[in-house]
Amino acid sequence: MIESTIRVLVSAGSKHGATAEIGERIGSVLSGRGYRTTVSPPDRIEDVSGFDAVILGSAVYAGHWMEAAKDLAELVAEASPPVPTWLFSSGPIGDPPKPDEDPVDVAEILTATSARDHRVFSGKIDKSKLSFGERAILVAVRAADGDFRDWDEIEGWASEIADELGRRRPTSTLRPDQG
């Protein structure tokens, strides 16, 4: 494998762990492709200036991103020079996935970060891990439970990002001055 000098941050807001696992899988794809990849929860990131690309995601609750992920999006939006950014949301549950239309309100985050792409991935609900209040909401909206994450789709998207980063700058350590 050719080691790249491109530093990529992968961060995912997650309440019950399912979206954090998506972030880890995306990170594995990027590091497998030779990028210097940091996978870290959004509340641990205070500065994005050390990264050449950011992949930022969040679980969706009541149609919105989690606060920590929104805060990190703000940091990304303020970064100077701008950092190329990709966004993902994970929420819809079931087959076919529900909610099926506009499961998340990310329009402002997309604009503020000038994100290259935003993907919505199906999520996971393990009812045994939820609070009483969360379970009550799910009963009210008649949501299914189960793990609907499509790892092939997630890895495919991560590969597309890896390809794009490879086109942006040379990745060979044979030319470290340009890498």
Where does 33-89 have alpha helices with state H? 67-78
Measured from the CB atom, is 32 or 41 closer to ligand FMN? Answer: 41
Beta bridge partners of 90: 59, 121
CA angle 106-37-56, nearest 5°? 5
Query: What's the CA dihedral at 147, 19, 130, 64 to 10 degrees?
Result: -110
Task: Indicate whether 137 belongs to the interface with ligand FMN (CB under 6 A).
Answer: yes
Q: Which of 8, 29, 48, 125 binds ligand FMN (CB under 6 A)?
A: 125
Measured from the CB atom, is 13 or 34 closer to ligand FMN? Answer: 13
For residue 48, count other CB atoms closer than 10 A to its CB: 20
Eight-state DSSP code of residue 128: G
Residue 76, token pair as written in the block: 């990304």
Give the strand pairing for 64-65 and 53-61: antiparallel
Q: What would the x/- binding string for ligand FMN be over residues 45 to 74, using CB under 6 A? A: --------------xxxxx-----------
Q: What would the x/- binding string for ligand FMN be over residues 81 to 100, using CB under 6 A? A: ---------xxxx-----x-
Task: Indicate whether 11 belongs to the interface with ligand FMN (CB under 6 A).
Answer: no
Q: Which of 27, 34, 57, 103 binds ligand FMN (CB under 6 A)?
A: 103
| Binding positions for ligand FMN, rule: CB under 6 A | 14-20, 59-63, 90-93, 99, 103, 123-125, 130, 134, 137-138
